[in-house]
């Protein structure tokens, strides 16, 4: 049921993504979502790196953010 709902929503968004030249690639192994092209994660990173012409470093992208200091909270 969840995949049906997500699939319909992504299908509705796909023309918007295409209009703005936003490429969506499904890199989830075993995913049953068929709206977007599928690609191995490693291949997607290589393709993205070749398109932008510079290495992509993802170090720290998926680590929890540190707790903000009181000064940052007050901004």
In a domain, 20, yes or no: yes
Which residue range(s) make up the domain with 47? Answer: 2-54
Give the closest residue to 32 by CA, choosing from 66, 2, 62, 74.
2
In a domain, 32, yes or no: yes
Domain count for the chain, please give it. Answer: 1
Mean pLDDT of the chain: 85
- Per-residue pLDDT band for 26 (boundaries 50, 70, 90) equals very high
Q: What is the pTM of this model?
A: 0.59
- The tokens describing 41, both together, are 């994660």
Which of 6, 47, 54, 55 shows the shortest CA–CA distance to 23?
47
């Amino acid at each position: 049921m969840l995949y049906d709902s997500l699939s319909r929503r992504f299908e509705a968004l796909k023309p918007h993504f295409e209009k703005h030249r936003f490429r969506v690639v499904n890199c989830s192994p075993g995913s049953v979502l068929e709206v977007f092209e599928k690609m191995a994660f490693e291949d997607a990173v290589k393709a993205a790196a070749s398109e932008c012409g510079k290495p992509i470093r993802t170090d720290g992208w998926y680590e929890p953010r540190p707790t903000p200091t009181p000064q940052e909270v007050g901004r």
